[in-house]
Amino acid sequence: MDARSHIRIARPSRDLAAAERFWSAGLGLDVVWRSEGGSAPDHHDLLMLGMPDADWHLELVHEPARPVEPRPTEEDLLVIYLDGPVPDGLVARLEAHGGKRVESPNPYWNEWGVTVEDPDGYRLVLCRRGWSNG
């Protein structure tokens, strides 16, 4: 493992079509892989979203025969550091594609960003700060 090792963030989803609208049409991520496993036992539907050349992607899974109910908490966050203002148009687009703007229990995220719940209840934070590891 090194600093360029790829990261996959995997989560269950109730509705992959709704999730795709939020993450792709709303946020602007590309669909990097999609598969439909059908209703056979131990098969699942899969949607992977990401950005070209990124070292991470978001994997959303739905198993029709044995659906797993998403159980996010208000601290399950995917934070994107924008290094600038959070565009009002982006927040509006996320809301138009199934997102819900919410307050964070952590005042840091309310001061430095905007928190939006996806259709499964997981939270995306758009932070106006930049990320620096040094």
What is the DSSP track for the chain? Answer: --TT--EEEEEE-S-HHHHHIIIIIIT-PEEEEEE--TTSTT--EEEEEE-TT-SEEEEEEE-TTSPPPP---TT-EEEEE-SSPPPHHHHHHHHHTT-EEE--SSHHHHHHEEEEE-TTS-EEEEESSPP---
Percent of the chain at pLDDT > 90 equals 80
Instruction: Give the pLDDT of residue 2.
Output: 85
Is the pTM higher than 0.85? The answer reads: yes
pLDDT at 64 > cutoff 90: no
> pLDDT tens-digit profile of 9-44?
999 999 999 999 999 999 999 999 999 876 566 678
pLDDT at 98 > cutoff 80: yes
Question: Hey, what domains does the chain have and what are their CATH numbers?
Answer: 7-62 (3.10.180.10), 77-127 (3.10.180.10)
